[in-house]
Structure 1
């Protein structure tokens, strides 16, 4: 049988890991355990963060008669679990009024309750079978961790979506009012340079409204418009847009000659680069260097953008992606929050760190199509 979890590909290209996936995985693992003689009973207890409760999967070997409800109730009561051994170690337990041999291999301890694999056998287990159970526990623990990380990520994305919608609504009201005044100003002016400037204000309002719509779309992962994009070209485009500020501070930009193709929403990922590079330019000293680098792996690309500024404090590292937290004067504190939301929607990761010598570095991991060369 194949070990692994079910990742359902949605039409928009995002991944969805459901509660039934972990249950199916535990069911598969319990079936594999009971197929090994002399194991005739396997019980897996794990934490399901979606239901905020511990769940269990039970399986018997092919010719084993199921236990009575009284015996199952006794096993579930965990009255026999006097001492909880270290994780991934196998221990033998004696059960009351039970002639069989019981083993337990702990997986972890979440929400004040243990997670474990419970095995009941006709005779003592061989060393190789004991090792197999321990490896099964490790594999199951990793799967549960992936599931919990996924659920935490989904919760975080939902929070960012709510923030983006609230902020977008407030900005849209203000833009509508400014646009109305600009239009009235245009109508009240005669032909003059002032009327032309009123026209420019109106057009700028329309551009801002378009950008705002894109911002709100960032809060809806279902609206990702995924296409094949050249990584280097996208970064160069963001650098070009910042060129006046780069020239003003006489900054040097280091960027690799290599590139790769990514399946991404171009406008959204460009917004991520725009924000990180804009911060790097802002905090860089005059004549400093901003370094863009990436490492291309089989399934992903690691992108690093660093500057030579004052770096990040411990508070910055803890709050840098928190909504409305900003060290830039006049900053909204939403740029990096939105950047993280976009990266999470693309099934990637983003984090900040302080460089040992000087400056800050932002690292991004994005999935990469397998057929890229």
Structure 2
């Protein structure tokens, strides 16, 4: 109806005017009616009015549509601005000269620069390494690349800096660059993590190289020392028979030679670990063998070996039985040596998640907290005559079995060594490793 509103009103007004004119011309003035002329005049007048007001209605419709379009554009613009301002990333736009033509609110939040003072400035006014970035962009522009990515160190208004990851698109018209659009994200924390990881990997690599060299050196020294040591031991045996009155001295010498040989043997184990062959190992069976082996030694030291086994649980792991047995023997021996006045060692087992947990608890003097962190390092020992290599070997063996060893200790109350080994039905280990 609104479409014809102007024409209807104008036509009604024209008809009213014609009727009023006819009343004056014929009724008041008394002129004779000429019907053909009068009807023709009326029709021409009404058609002319209708035709002229047609343009007025169309103009009104166009004005109405324009207002509706402006309203929708404003709503869409406001909505787009709200979305842009609530994004975590900075959205930017530049022209063909690199002048910034658009920024959203996160720019102010991240850099401290207001949008008003930044619009119209050059894109490279806000970051370091300008030459690297320009070379990067020139390369992309020369090759007509449509998009790219670069990490840049930006500086804030207060002087602080942050790492920004820029993703951008480059636009061309008739082969000529006309501008860019992109996003900027703060990746400072990620860069810090990457740098720390890189430095950590460098330290680990250097440490690994040092350990490898130390291992080779230790193996060489062990072999070179063992050969003359064997000769010395043989000649001392002959000399002992010739000097029976000095047998106590010779016993001390042989004891120390045996100790040297033991240390050299442990060095060889660390320097050149033998190949591990994995197979099914029953933890309870291995523990029974170890306890039987060491029970006599424990009794002589007035120590009781107590078993707390969860026999209803099938604790089977993939591993090298001899190496696992060596770990158990070392830990029980350590417990015995930690209790010179006797006591009790409790050996317990249980299933913990997908792992078999084996614990060795003694009632010895315990270990100081600052020493716990050093346990397992070569040549660190809490025992007066210990080499520290025994626990190092234990840690290496458990690590090779994809397990973990934890130590709980308190001075005056004893220590507990926990070993966690993955159960056979939860992790498939490699057949052999070196």
Q: TM-score, length-normalised on structure 1?
A: 0.53
Residue 216 (str. 1) matches residue 291 (str. 2) = no
The corresponding residue for 1:306 is 361
Residue 230 (str. 1) matches residue 282 (str. 2) = yes
The corresponding residue for 2:220 is 169
Residues 343-373 of structure 1 show CA distances to partners (whole Å, capped at 9, x for unaligned) of 222222223222498111222222222169x
Residue 360 (str. 1) matches residue 415 (str. 2) = yes
Take 1:328 and 1:289, find their aligned partners in 2: how far apart are those partners?
19
Contact 2:162/2:186 (CA < 8 Å) preserved in 1? no
Residues 308-365 of structure 1 show CA distances to partners (whole Å, capped at 9, x for unaligned) of 1121112311211121111212211211112112222222222322249811122222
Aligned length: 261
The corresponding residue for 1:88 is none
The DSSP-based 3-state class of the residue aligned with 1:361 is: strand
Take 1:355 and 1:261, find their aligned partners in 2: how far apart are those partners?
31
Residues 68-107 of structure 1 show CA distances to partners (whole Å, capped at 9, x for unaligned) of 779646x32243896579xxxxxx9999976455556777
The corresponding residue for 1:130 is none
The corresponding residue for 2:307 is 255
The DSSP-based 3-state class of the residue aligned with 1:246 is: helix
- 1:84-103 paired onto structure 2 within 5 Å: 99-100=181-182
1:264 and 1:330, CA in 2 relative to 1: closer, same or farther beyond 3 A? same
Q: 1:335 aligns with which of 376, 390, 395?
A: 390
Contact 2:359/2:419 (CA < 8 Å) preserved in 1? yes
Take 2:207 and 2:418, find their aligned partners in 1: how far apart are those partners?
19
Take 2:233 and 2:151, find their aligned partners in 1: how far apart are those partners?
70
- 1:80-229 paired onto structure 2 within 5 Å: 99-100=181-182, 108=190, 110=192, 113=195, 162-183=213-234, 216-217=268-269, 219-220=271-272, 223-229=275-281
Question: How much does 1:109 deviate?
Answer: 5.2
Take 2:413 and 2:366, find their aligned partners in 1: how far apart are those partners?
6
Question: How much does 1:217 deviate?
Answer: 4.9
Structure showing greater Rg: 2
Residue 76 (str. 1) matches residue 133 (str. 2) = no
Contact 1:218/1:338 (CA < 8 Å) preserved in 2? yes
The DSSP-based 3-state class of the residue aligned with 2:367 is: coil
The DSSP-based 3-state class of the residue aligned with 1:267 is: helix
Contact 1:95/1:102 (CA < 8 Å) preserved in 2? no
Unaligned runs of 5+ in 2: 1-142, 171-178, 242-253, 428-434
Contact 2:354/2:422 (CA < 8 Å) preserved in 1? yes
The DSSP-based 3-state class of the residue aligned with 2:386 is: coil
Q: 1:320 aligns with which of 363, 375, 379?
A: 375
Contact 1:298/1:368 (CA < 8 Å) preserved in 2? no
The corresponding residue for 1:13 is none
1:338 and 1:160, CA in 2 relative to 1: closer, same or farther beyond 3 A? farther
Take 1:223 and 1:151, find their aligned partners in 2: how far apart are those partners?
28
Q: TM-score, length-normalised on structure 2?
A: 0.46
Question: How much does 1:174 deviate?
Answer: 3.4
